[in-house]
Amino acid sequence: MPHDAPASENALIREETRRRWSLALPALTVITLLSIVPLAVMVAYSFMQAGQYAGVEPGFSLDGWQAVFFERDFFDDSLIPATAHLTILGRSIALALATTALTFVFGIPTAWFIATRPPSSRGFWMFLITVPFWTNLLVRTIAIQEVIRADGTLNRVLLATGIIDEPLQMMFTNGAVLVGMAYVYLPLMVLPVYAAIEKFDFRLSEAAYDLYASRLYCLRRVVLPLMWPGIVAGSILVFIPALGAYVTPRLMGGGRAMMWGNLIDLQFGQGRNWPLGAALSITLTLVVLGALIWYARRTAKKDHANG
Amino acid sequence: MLDIRSLSKKFGSGAGAFHALKSIDITIEEGEFFTLLGPSGCGKTTLLRMIAGFEQPSGGQLVLDGKDIATIPPNHRPVNTVFQSYALFPHMTVAQNVAFGLEARGTNPAEVAPRVDEILEIVQMAHLRDRKSSQMSGGQQQRVALARALAPRPRILLLDEPLSALDLKLRKQMQFELKRLQGELGLTFIFVTHDQDEALTMSDRIAVMEGGTLQQVASPRSLYDHPANRFVAEFIGEANFLPGTIVDGKLFLAGSPPVPLLREKKSRGAVAVMIRPEQVVVGATSEKAITLDGRVESLVFSGTDTHVSLRLQNGTTLSLRSPNTSHAGTALADGQALQVSLPIDALHVLPEETADAA
Ligand SMILES: Nc1ncnc2c1ncn2[C@@H]1O[C@H](COP(=O)(O)OP(=O)(O)OP(=O)(O)O)[C@@H](O)[C@H]1O
Ligand SMILES: [Mg+2]
């Protein structure tokens, strides 16, 4: 702002600044109430003592955090690293990655299909994609179960057509968990990718063909780089909630393989160890945050290298 | 040499089909600056896109160097396009854009960089080679688009109204540079425009199109001097049309005695006689001419000359130019009676039916 700006202009700028803040206020309030406050509560709980029958008791304690990383040896009560937690975290990350990959494989063609329909019918297709959002997660997961159960729809069709002789055991396998997860999170991949494809200027791919590019070359050098932000957004939107998912792994996997989400669930439920549950939640948040910061740094560096 | 033979294009089918091009025949010579000129919607872009390979012909052939290329996909045709919207890749730098065609074609990487440098030098964009293509002015984008299309050394360069987005001054400059570049490279240019001045100043030959049909293919000079029909006469420059009749090689115009014509010997019945405004002479002339009387209806000063609109005795209006040579006595006044001469050599006889159609 120039120093010699007239007073009235300064006042105008102040007025404008105030107006903008007041416009942003409702959003800021909602963000504060819905995300910062619960997060603060979780942080506070993680440093408190566990109540006897669930809940927390006032008083500072590091027990919760200690239990994230160490457990008491069964025999001599010494502290040993909690390798089980590491295994569970690894499993959750693997599942979230696999879910992201699967939604990517199915989401990109779906988004492409919708974005290349005539504009008048795109709304209809988008509507179909978002319909599952209107249904409770539990109901959706049970619907998938109904399809792949031993006496479910898929097995009955396969049996009736004679492709198989006895029902396939699909429930309670890793595959079942993955299918359930991909089904639940697919729309989160399709929406941002669709937005990116819809914005894509197809005259650019025409220019690429004109310049001797094959379809594949054009996809690699022109289409994908320009759709990349949408793909990244979709992947983040799928990966983060998938990392903390616990309903779908529990129902589809039969609770055989515990996920990080189930671990947290356990501490707040049967475990009655709220500080540990809170500390586990914060740990997950930190892992996600770390991954995002790493990604942001990496792309910033790459952009810089490109000039 | 590109031979366009009875090329036609129909969009859609059945009752809703639209004939965008109707049996076009053109032969474009090696190293020629060839222009497609016509009003909006006449099919210029459609023809260009068929040469590039983005549209399939509904009929006819497209023969390049003796080979029918009509079914060859765009990425295998030795033809590159400068798009009207430039269509530069926004995520790439200027140099990356220019290298694209070479790389896509699998050119030896060692040869790509020198070629990119060379071509950027030619279009005077070397200093911006690392700039992102989205961060440039229209004129700069234009040069990059040109460089990108030239880099892979196409046999023919197609340009679809490449200058239409530029302001007048830049446009004049780019017209000049394009023409110079084309001459230096000796490359065949097929240039689309709906601006007749642009077409006249730049082209070796011009194809005038209208409603999907070819009206005339000729050099700028002969299009102007010998338009084939009323549409071409009106589209290129300004024209006066006078109704007349030709009987036994004599032209009968209302308000003047019959005059024998040099080029017309037969009887042709009703015709339209065309004359350019600047060829109408004020007063008498020593040439063989038709003299007509009229009254000045309006005068518009335009610097070097004054545009005069004359109402003839038979009711038609005639446009002419009166040079402003600053003889105080020759100044014209509104409503003044004026005699003009139409030199016989400057008259062009066009068939009357095209006059009716127009
Ligand atoms: N894909 C298409 N489907 C149907 N009609 C089309 C299609 N492309 C062009 N047309 C029609 O063909 C005609 C010629 O179009 P074209 O784009 O070739 O015109 P143009 O001479 O380039 O005009 P302009 O100067 O406005 O660019 C137009 O009437 C247009 O509506
Ligand atoms: Mg066009």
Q: What is the dihedral of CA B134, B137, B143, B146, to 10 degrees?
A: 50
Residue nearest to atom 24 of ligand 1 (CA): B40
Q: How far apart are CA B51 and CA A144, in angstroms?
A: 53
Q: Say what the pLDDT of residue B99 is.
A: 97
A98 and A29, same structural domain? no
- ipTM of predicted complex: 0.82
Separation of alpha carbons B65 and B2, rounded Å = 7
For chain A, give the DSSP string.
--TT--HHHHHHHHHHHHHHHHHHHHHHHHHIIIIIHHHHHHHHHHTEEEPTTSSEEEEE--HHHHHHHEEE-TTT--EEE-HHHHHHHHHHHHHHHHHHHHHHHHHHHHHHHHHTS-HHHHHHHHHHHHGGGGS-HHHHHHHHHHHHSTTSHHHHHHHHTTS-SS----TTSHHHHHHHHHHHHHHHHHHHHHHHHHH--HHHHHHHHHTT--HHHHIIIIIHHHHHHHHHHHHHHHHHHHHT--HHHHHHHTTSS--HHHHHHHHHTTT--HHHHHHHHHHHHHHHHHHHHHHHHHHHHHHHHT-
CB contact under 8 A, A217 and B152: no
Using the mean position of ligand 2's atoms as its centre, give its distance from the Cα of residue B165 in Å: 13
Closest residue to atom 16 of ligand 1, CA basis: B43
Chain A: give the shortest CA distance to residue B7, in Å: 21
Does residue A25 share a domain with residue A145? no
The residue whose CA has the least distance to atom 28 of ligand 1 is B41
Q: Tell me, yes or no, whether A249 and A133 share the same domain.
A: yes
| Contact (CB<8Å) B91/A210 | no
Instruction: Give the Cα separation of B164 and B175 in Å (integer).
Output: 11
CA B48 to ligand 1: nearest atom: 18
For residue A77, CA distances in Å to A70, A74, A80, B29, B138 come to: 11, 6, 9, 94, 75
What phi and psi values does residue A166 have, to the nearest 5 degrees?
-135, 155
- Of B31, B68, B30, the closest CA to residue B50 belongs to B68
Which residues on adjacent β-strands are paired with residue A278? none
CATH of the domain at A204: 1.10.3720.10
State how far residue B140 is from chain A, nearest Cα, in angstroms: 18
Of A19, A45, A80, the domain-final residue: A80
Supply B102's token pair. 């070479």
Task: Check CB contact of A219 with chain B, cutoff 8 Å.
Answer: no
- Write the residue in A203, A212, A226 that is nearest to B152 by C-beta: A212
Q: Are residues A76 and A103 in the same domain?
A: no
Statement to judge: residues A293 and A215 lie in one domain: yes
Distance B43 CA to ligand 1 centre (A): 5
- In this complex, is the C-beta atom of A204 within 8 Å of any C-beta atom belonging to chain B? yes
If asked whether residues A142 and A219 sit together in one domain, one would say yes
Q: Where does the pLDDT of residue B350 fall: very low under 50, low under 70, confident under 90, or very high at 90 and above?
A: confident
| Residue B353: its H or E element | helix B352-357
Chains A–B, number of C-beta pairs less than 8 Å apart:
65
Radius of gyration (Cα) for chain B, nearest Å?
25
From B35, B36, B42, mutation site for ligand 1 pocket: most ligand atoms within 8 A of C-beta: B42
**Residue that wins the pLDDT comparison between B320 and B247:** B320
Question: Could you give the percent of chain A with pLDDT greater than 70?
Answer: 96
- pLDDT classification of A251: cutoffs 50, 70, 90: confident
Same-domain pairing of A160 and A209: yes
Task: Quote the ligand 2 centre to B249 CA distance (angstroms).
Answer: 43
Query: Looking at CA atoms only, how far is residue A230 from chain B in angstroms?
Result: 15
Asked if A223 and A205 count as a contact pair (C-beta separation under 8 A), the reply is: yes
Q: Are residues A42 and A172 in the same domain?
A: no
Q: What residues does ligand 1 touch, defined as CB less than 6 Å away?
A: B 11, 18, 20, 38, 40-46, 194
Percent of chain B at pLDDT > 70 equals: 95
Domain end position, chosen among A80, A112, A135: A80
CB atoms < 10 A from the CB of B262, how many? 10
Residues in chain B within 8 Å Cβ distance of A213: 75, 100, 104
Same domain, A168 and A75: no
**What does the alpha-carbon distance between residue B98 and residue B121 come to, in Å, rounded to a whole number?**
12
Q: Are residues A284 and A185 in the same domain?
A: yes
Contact A214 B75 (CB under 8 A): yes
> CA B179, B183, B188 angle in degrees (round to 5)?
90
A306 contact B CB<8A: yes
Q: Is A112 exposed, middle or buried (0-12, 13-18, 19+ CB in 10 A)?
A: middle
Q: Tens digit of pLDDT for each residue in A151-201? A: 888 888 888 888 888 888 877 888 888 988 998 899 999 999 999 998 899
Task: Give residue A94's pLDDT.
Answer: 93
**Nearest Cβ partner of A203 from B74, B85, B130?**
B85
Q: How many structural domains does chain A have?
A: 2
Out of A27, A49, A80, a domain closes at A80
What pTM, to 2 d.p., does this model score?
A: 0.78
- Other beta carbons within 10 angstroms of residue A121's beta carbon come to 10
Q: Which residue among B80, B85, B89 sits closest to A210, beta carbon to beta carbon? A: B80
Separation of alpha carbons B247 and B264, rounded Å: 10
Which of A204, A212, A306 comes nearest B104 by C-beta?
A212
pLDDT band, very low/low/confident/very high, at B2 (cuts 50, 70, 90): very high
The Cα of A213 is separated from the nearest Cα of chain B by a number of Å equal to 5
Q: Per-residue pLDDT tens for B47-93?
A: 999 999 999 999 999 999 999 999 899 999 999 999 988 999 999 99
Long-range pairs of A194-201 with CB within 8 A, sequence gap ≥ 24: A194/A111, A194/A114, A194/A115, A194/A126, A194/A230, A195/A230, A196/A111, A196/A226, A196/A227, A196/A229, A196/A230, A196/A231, A197/A111, A197/A112, A197/A115, A197/A116, A197/A227, A197/A230, A198/A115, A198/A122, A200/A115, A200/A226, A200/A227, A201/B87
Question: Is A231's Cβ below 8 Å from some Cβ in B?
Answer: no
For residue B199, what pLDDT is reported?
A: 94
Whether A218 shows a pLDDT value over 90: the answer reads yes
Considering only CA atoms, which residue is closest to atom 6 of ligand 1? B11
User: Out of A211-225, B136-150, B279-293, which region has the weakest mean confidence (pLDDT)?
Assistant: B279-293
Residue B127's φ and ψ, nearest 5 degrees, are -70, -15
Counting atoms of ligand 1 from 1, which one is nearest the CA of B47? 18
Q: How far is the CA of B194 from the centre of ligand 2 (A)?
A: 9
For residue B307, CA distances in Å to B240, B244, B319 come to 13, 25, 7
A138 lies in the same domain as A13:
no
| Same domain assignment for residues A210 and A234 | yes
Range of the domain at A67: 2-80
What are B174-203's pLDDT values in tens digits?
999 999 999 999 999 999 998 999 999 999
Map residue B66 onto helix, strand or coil: coil
Mean pLDDT throughout B224-243?
91
